[in-house]
Structures are given as C-alpha cells and as structure tokens.
Amino acid sequence: MFAVFLASIAWTSCSRQAATPSQNGVAQVGDIVISSDQMQRRLAERQRQRSFGALAATDRDEVLEELIQFEALFAQAQRAGWHTNAELLAGFKRTVVGRFKEQQLAQLRTASPTEVEIAAFYEQHLAQFTTAPKLRGAVLLMETPQKATPEKQAETAIKAAELREQAVKETSGTTHFGSLAQRHSVDQVTRYAGGDFGLLTVVEIEGRYGAALARALDALQSPGEISPVVETPLGLGFVKLIERKPEARRPPAQVRDGIAHQLTQAKQAQAERDFLAAAKSNVAIRINRTLLDSIPLPVRNGEPPALPGAQTSLSKDPL
C-alpha cells in the first residue's frame, strides 16, 4: 500500500492531474502536468541563485526543459519499477517522519516558563545558586617518615611544636608563614607562597590536607590565628587562618535568564516525550518477542575499518 501511495505522487513539486496543458499547465509529460505555478516557483529559485542580472526568455525555456526532462526520467524509472524499491521507500518514510516530527515539535516548543515558575524554581534550588563558604589559610607541613620509630616520631612532634611557637612569634605581622614555610614546609605547592593555599571550601581542604587540618582551620575564628599541630596525610603540620568568605547567594535577577532557559529546555523535552508517546498510543502495536529474540546480532570481525578507497580482503583480485 505504501508503494502504491508513493507511486501516486510526483517527487518533484509538479502535480499529477488529469488536466491538460491548456487548462492549467504549460506542458504535459504523459499524464503529469507542469503547471504555471510550478514554473513560477522554479524561475524564482533560479533568480535567487543568480548573483546578478535579470532572467531572460531563454531561462523560461531552460527551466521548462529541466522539468520535462525530470518528469520523463521519473516516468521511465516508474516503468522500471524503481518506485517500489525498498531502499527508496525507506528513505521516503524517513523523510516524511523527519519533516513531520520537526514541524510538530516546532509548534510545541513555543511555550515559555512564567515568572511564577521561574521564582518557584529558584526557591526550590537555592543550593544551585549558593556558593559554599570558603577559607583561606597558610599551611606548614613537616614530613614524618611512615616507618619512623616511636622515638623519631616523638622527636618530630617536638620539632613541630617548636616550629609552631616560632611561627606565632615571627609571623604575627604577616598573613602567612613567609620564609618560615619556605625553609621548613614540605608542601611544594605552597612553600614559596608562605604556605598560602588560597580560598578553598572545607571539603576541598580536607581532600588536599586531610580532615584533621580542615577541622583545625575551620575552628579558628580570627585572621592570624594559628591552629595546634595536627597529623595530616603528608605529615605533622599546622595552619594559619587568613580569610573567611561566607556563603554567597546569587540574587534571582542575576540568574533569571539561566533558569528560564533551563525550564524551557525541560518543557521542550517533556513536550517531545508526550508527543512521541501520543503517536504510539494512536496505533495498535504488537511485538513478536520470540521472533525478535531469534534475530542474530552482528559480530565485529576484529579488523580495523578500511581506509577510504582501499580494497578489503574480499574485494582483492585472486592471485
């Protein structure tokens, strides 16, 4: 039935009618009428394609000849049975489905979120628009060998405590540990910046220096305070608070357009899902699961794809 339908239409914009050229056509190829409207559209297309100059009478004759030639070839293709070619029919179906889906979804994509919906989204997703509080600190770490004897560990702990006391006295007028970190810290990332690791969240500090040091820094209240010596994955160390930056929430007006875009995308996605579900609900669908499961899946042969123009092993001439 689909092949009959395809054969009943002209694949160009020319219409298949029982009329004669004298009634509504400038020419007729078999029973296919080439109308004046079709000629005008093709002439307008030719004019658009021409970069300069107006069309001449010869263009009219050339366009008509193109249409006649096309319809003659189409008639010959029909006689040869090409209008029932499975590959062409499948391509036609894909074109129809694609254009239909595109047109229908374009009509469904016009809805925009209301200001009430935007405001509600903002209130329901405050965390999305809130920056977590951050801490800026300076760290000084002393390496503790993993296989150190208890005596060596105790000696390192004493040195760390002494170094902390030295930091309290010598760096009270600076935001970080200055040259003290450069001389003694094993943290290569920060030692030449006085131990300053910049603004990080507690979670980020924990990931870099361990939970104990993150908690120790978070417990400090005023810039310049130095924590007790704590154990970190990199060794013993202590940290100085440089700055606290509280959480910050972006105002609704600042994120309004982003929320509107996000809601629009969601509405369009839902509209497409509803459209596709409705299309399936309007037809009877039956699945032969037994037959489906019996269809073998193709197996990759393990050979890399052939280069364009290269012969495969099957296409080579025999020796």
Name residue 273's amino acid: R
Asked whether 141 and 235 are in contact (CB, 8 A), the reply is: yes
DSSP, res 288: -
pLDDT at 24: 64
Residue 224's region, left for phi above 0, alpha for psi from -120 to 50, else beta, is left
Please report, for the chain, the start and end positions of each structural domain, with discontinuous segments joined by +: 2-84, 106-130+252-292, 133-246
Q: How far apart are CA 309 and CA 303, in angstroms?
A: 16
* Amino acid symbol at 228: P
pLDDT of residue 4: 41
pTM beyond 0.75, yes or no:
no
Q: State residue 319's pLDDT score.
A: 33
* pLDDT attached to residue 2: 45
Rounded to whole angstroms, how far apart are CA atoms 223 and 240?
A: 8
Determine the distance from the C-alpha atom of residue 170 to the mean position of all C-alpha atoms in its chain, rounded to a whole number. 53
Helices (H), the chain: 2-7, 21-24, 36-49, 57-79, 86-108, 115-124, 150-170, 178-184, 202-209, 211-219, 252-281, 289-294
| Residuewise pLDDT in 10s, the chain (319 residues) | 444 444 444 334 344 444 444 456 889 998 889 888 898 999 999 888 887 888 888 988 998 899 999 989 988 988 888 888 888 888 888 998 889 888 888 877 777 889 999 999 999 999 999 989 999 999 999 987 777 788 888 888 999 999 999 999 988 888 999 999 999 999 999 999 999 999 999 999 999 999 999 999 999 999 999 999 999 988 899 999 999 999 999 999 999 999 999 999 888 888 889 888 988 888 898 989 999 899 898 888 766 666 655 554 444 443 3
If you classify domain 133-246 with CATH, what class do you get? alpha beta
Three-class DSSP category at 144: coil
The pLDDT, as a whole number, for residue 162 is 93
